[in-house]
Homo-oligomer: A and B are copies of this chain.
Amino acid sequence: MIRLAVDGMGGDNAPEQIVKGVLLALEKFDNLEILLYGDEKKMAPFLRNHNRLKVIHTDKYLDMGEKDPVGQLRKNKDASMFLAMRAVKEKEADAIVSAGPTQALVVASHMIIKRMPQMRRVAIAPIIPSITNKKRILLDSGANVDLKPEHLLDFAVYASVVAKSLLHIENPKVGLLNIGTEPGKGRELDVQTFELLSNTKEINFYGNVEPKEILDSEADILLSDGFTANIAMKTMEGTAKSLGKVLKKELTNSFFKKLIVGLFLRKSLKAFKQTLDPNEIGGAMIAGLQNIVVKAHGSSNAYAFYNGIRQAKELVEADVIGKVTKLLEKNEETV
């Protein structure tokens, strides 16, 4: 049995979509138990009794715009996210899933669950969309603005285990996000990281990847520091959003076109939109902690949150943390 702690009050659509996602997951998976932390009164309209669901009441939670997570950890100890996290720390649950504010989740994970001793930094690692069915892991997507090559190596090892266990890719290719494909391109960090990754047997280094290929590269893992990868992620988001607007305007600027769109193209346009919809993808891991922490997208609907739960469950089942620990220990011995 896998037991997950869920923050019932995190996310723009909490608690309704969170509760619905939880019930969906319990239906789908027989080997899943959920501890749900949140305001019982607010969750009640959407809740059903379930023998593998336990609700733990708290009327405290974090605001989605929370800017001072450290202060909150001190003043707002009983917030749903923090209670769920402590349950994991105290081994009452195997992993936590929250759609709450990212920085709060990263900070609280650091302070409550703590880093694996073998990982020198913690990374945000979302699975990013693609134009085929191929999924890719992009990290660090925003936890650390300053990183060293050794940190990126840790991330590469972690993400390789996840790609193998969760995405079922036999020998996942690790690409370094860079401004050119040749070795020697980029900043000092990129040149040194290229060198280090080339000489590490634990991963399958693919080389530099230009962001022109960010949605259709052969690499399964895209690696950079938390500033650069965050810039790339937000640029994808912005470009997709803006092109969607152009397209919508172009396709609906006459009654006749509207009719055609309505009759024939609705499905096509939906597929286009879904390509970059975070709800289709699931959550981001906070990689490098002593337990699995999954951050579901802030705008998660029930299905997206269910995907986040599924992801946390699969990461626990695959013993990702155990496998990473072994690989990094081995790596330290050979260095």
Contact = CB atoms under 8 A, between A and B. Distances in A.
B187 A212 contact: no
Contacts of A239: 214-215, 235-236, 239-240, 243, 276
A179 interface: yes
B212 A234 contact: yes
A211 B240 contact: no
A237 B212 contact: yes
Interface residues of A, number: 51
A240 B275 CA distance: 12
Contacts of A186: 145, 227
Contacts of A257: 264-265, 268
A231 B251 contact: no
4 closest pairs, A vs B, by CB? A215-B242, A250-B268, A235-B235, A211-B235
A247 interface: yes
A300 to B, nearest CB: 18
A44 interface: no
A22 to B, nearest CB: 29
Interface in A199-217: 210-216
B250 A272 contact: yes
6 contacts: A131-B243, A211-B237, A215-B239, A228-B228, A243-B243, A250-B271
Contacts of A260: 260, 264-265
A145 B238 contact: no
Nearest to A225: B187
Listed residue (A146, A239, A260) with the most chain B CB atoms within 10 angstroms of its CB: A239
B234 A275 contact: no
Interface in A249-306: 250-251, 253, 256-257, 260, 264-265, 268-269, 271-272, 275-276
A268 B248 CA distance: 10
A297 to B, nearest CB: 14
A67 interface: yes
Contacts of A188: 146
A37 B232 CA distance: 39
Given A187-B145, A268-B251, A231 B243 contact: no
Given A264-B260, A275-B243, A234 B250 contact: no
A231 B245 contact: no
A179 B142 contact: yes
A1 interface: no
A269 B243 CA distance: 11
Nearest to A224: B231
Contacts of A264: 256-257, 260
Listed residue (A131, A182, A186) with the most chain B CB atoms within 10 angstroms of its CB: A131
Interface in A96-145: 131, 142, 145
A87 interface: no
A246 interface: yes
A88 interface: no
